[in-house]
Amino acid sequence: MTNVSVGNRIKIKNMMNVCPNLGSATHTSASSAAASHLTKAQVRAAIAAIDTTANSKLKRVARFRAFTAGIDADDLLQEAILRSLTSRSCPAGLKIEHFLMAVMRSIASAAIAKRERDEPLFREACDRLAPSQAPDKAYESAVRAEACRKALEDVAGSSPKTEGVIDGIGQGLRGKALANFAGMEEAELATVRRLIKRRAAKVWDDYMALDFAA
């Protein structure tokens, strides 16, 4: 009886080695890949629980990204939410707010890239319409807005905290109110403000070099 039992164990072991559908590691690659991202139901539940009030971090980032891309902040956030529920996959270990911020940044960057591609065509059309005249007011405004956007983007340096401070300063906030708005302590705020001043000094010369008198 003992020999029979040993023989059976050997046969079973051999079958597990031969058959890919047996063993403790069976079908783990697919399930592991799925577990690395949130399901759409999990994403929907996470979005329903986040803070989207006017002064929330998500809305502040939306306003900044929208400003740099020249689009509406609410539309940008809604588009990011839509993509997170359809075409984008959120990593399981990433907070949904950070995921949406990344999606908004991607959307804004695509809008900026499209505008930069279209600008030569716009300039050419203006030259054809009035080759002997100075650019009209609409074109001047577009050039000025693009210069301001680029300068602000360079100063922010793609840092959500720096973006929050710039946004708060634009709303007239100072001191503790500004620190609370940006989600940081006042000591950290002082460091970020110094960083903003250094970066602003670097881009100021290029900004002033533009001929706004035309």
Residue 23 lies in a domain: no
DSSP string across 76-128: HHHHHHHHHHTT---BTTS-HHHHHHHHHHHHHHHHHHHHHHHHHHHHHHHHH
Would you mind telling me the total number of residues written for the chain in this entry?
214
Residues 36-69: tens digit of each pLDDT: 999 999 999 999 999 989 889 899 999 998 888 8
- Condensed to tens digits (0 to 9), the pLDDT of residues 118-169 reads 777 666 666 665 555 455 666 666 766 777 777 777 777 767 778 888 877 8
Instruction: For 94-124, write each residue's pLDDT tens digit.
Output: 899 999 999 999 999 998 888 888 777 666 6
Residue 110: both structure tokens together: 């695509």
Domain shared by 207 and 151, yes or no: yes
For the chain, the domain total comes to: 2
Instruction: Give how far Cα 171 sits from Cα of 113, 175, 204, Å.
Output: 28, 13, 21
For residue 94, count other CB atoms closer than 10 A to its CB: 12
Residue 46 lies in a domain: yes
Are 154 and 108 contained in the same domain? no
Q: Is residue 9 part of a domain?
A: no
| Domain encompassing residue 77 | 39-133
Whether 84 and 143 map to the same domain: the answer is no
Q: Let me know whether 122 and 59 are in one domain.
A: yes
Which one-letter amino acid corresponds to residue 31?
S
Backbone angles phi, psi at 91, to 5 degrees: -60, 145
Q: Is residue 21 part of a domain?
A: no
pTM of the model: 0.48
Same domain, 75 and 128: yes
- Same domain, yes or no, for 142 and 193? yes
